[in-house]
Amino acid sequence: MKNLLMIYYDGFPIYRTKLDGGPIPTPHLESLIKKSTFYSNVISAAPSTAMSLTSMFTGYYPHEFGRRSYALSDDSVGALPQGTTTLFSELENMGYSTHVIWDDVMVQKDQKMRINAWTGENTKFFTKKVISNPLLNKIERKIFKGYGRSWEADRVMSYVKTLKEPWAVFARFAREVGKDFKGASNEVSNNNWDDEIYDSDHSINLIFNQLPQNTRFIITSDHGRMYGEQGIWGYAFNLCEGSMKVFLVDYDPTSNTIKENNKLTSLINFKNIVLNRSLRKTKYIYADSAYADQWHRKTMIRKGHWKYIYHKDSWPCKDQLFDLRNDPHELINLASENWVDPYRDSRPKGDTRYNTFSPSVFNIDGKPTRDVLLRNDWDYVYAQLEELREERKRIWSLQGV
């Protein structure tokens, strides 16, 4: 049996890389892709580490878990459908020793993460020790300031060298940027947040060059992150594409299967990919920002290029429909009956002296969206909207919501 090294980059913004049309080069990642199976169109099941990992390790969407909130007092927390076998349990049954590498902060969140819901009986945790005394916070920050993803790579590779084969290791690479990569983006984007992409790409090279023989190497992310698009920073529990789109690369040294799989799929298939099983196919792809009973829950349903989002908290509105084929940046809400001009205020607009017009010199605020957007398929658009609305109601009704 081959060893398994599985790494996830927490909150990796794949849309910022040249692989997905962004400005940041990732030569080492691209080199690895040329030797691997590359899943280039993957959607996370949640913009939340705890929810996303549970989906990855069980193959279920969040609305199928049984968990209803993050509250530690919630009796349903950790509940999974009867007969569920998790990735780690299956790997242990196959004869692997299973290991998770991350920091103390994650382990301290055991109850929130519900680790016992998805690990195997004998899974071992190796952690980066973090000072937990509040009085030493300043010292702690100073100590760990220079650590980044390349440092994480060396830590992981040192650990796997101590293991008896066959082993399966799952490692989290945190969001810190190493001191050697501070300012790495200056010549390309001048955005400090892009520095971590350079650090991540370098870490991939470090790992690959130290990869033990007979070791399969899989890398992905739990979710993405936003950098100011639509006024959103971080993943912020939103369901925009920047937060939801991820990547997955599967390098198998004994396989001749080198290809790109660009079919739309969900990250719930992480378990199936690791176990070399057929992908679970569903008519729709789902994602949730929170659990069933939480007031700020948002649910996404994808059907091809049609993307529907329902906002339980009504922010920024109750529901949205985007046609990602024509509107990849999710700027036009087709579910809105009337056009809302985002630039409308009391100031003059565009080339005019008047405050009644938009920058495009049209007074379109409040007009029917159907009249503003000159599409010739509005009946079809409304049919998609109604179908996805009904599907959202259906899956919520299964949870008694």
| pTM, to two decimals | 0.92
Share of the chain above pLDDT 90, in %: 70
- 341-349 average pLDDT score: 62
Q: What is the pLDDT of residue 363?
A: 76
- pLDDT value at residue 78: 62
Q: What is the mean pLDDT of the chain?
A: 89
Give residue 355's pLDDT: 65
What is the DSSP track for 26-61? -HHHHHHHTTSEEEEEEE-S-SSHHHHHHHHHH---
- Assess whether pLDDT exceeds 70 at residue 44: yes
Q: For 62-66, 230-234, 273-277, 392-396, which range has the lowest pLDDT when averaged over its residues?
A: 230-234
Give the pLDDT band of residue 53 (cuts 50, 70, 90): very high
Flag whether pLDDT at 329 surpasses 70: yes
Dihedral in degrees, nearest 10, Cα atoms 353, 354, 357, 361: -30
Using the predicted structure, report yes or no on whether residue 308 has a pLDDT greater than 70.
Answer: yes
Nearest-CA neighbor of 12 among 142, 203, 170?
203
How many Å apart are CA 338 and CA 116, to the nearest integer?
48
Query: pLDDT-derived band of residue 72, with 50, 70 and 90 as boundaries?
Result: confident
Using a 10 angstrom Cβ sphere, with 0-12 exposed, 13-18 middle and 19 or more buried, the burial of residue 203 is buried
In the chain, the domains with their CATH numbers are 3-282 (3.40.720.10), 298-398 (no CATH)
Q: What token pair was written down for 250?
A: 């599967």
Give every CB contact of residue 103 below 8 A, 6+ residues apart in sequence: 127, 128, 130, 172, 174
pLDDT digits (tens, 9 = 90+) for 359-379: 666 778 788 999 999 999 999
Numbers of helices and strands, H then E, in the chain:
12, 15
Query: 142, exposed or middle or buried, with CB in 10 Å at 0-12, 13-18, 19+?
Result: exposed
Lowest mean pLDDT among 104-113, 190-199, 340-349: 340-349
Strand pairing report for 226-227 and 97-103: unpaired
Q: Which tokens belong to 146? A: 């220079």
Strand (E) or helix (H) holding 112:
helix 110-113
Residue-wise pLDDT for 109-162, tens only, equals: 766 677 878 899 999 998 865 444 555 455 544 554 557 899 899 989 999 999
- Residue 230: pLDDT band (50, 70, 90) is confident
Axis crossing angle, helix 195-210 with helix 149-160, rounded to the nearest 10: 20
The pLDDT of residue 393 = 98
Quickly count: other Cβ atoms within 10 Å of residue 132's Cβ.
Answer: 11
Lowest mean pLDDT among 25-34, 126-135, 177-186, 315-324: 126-135
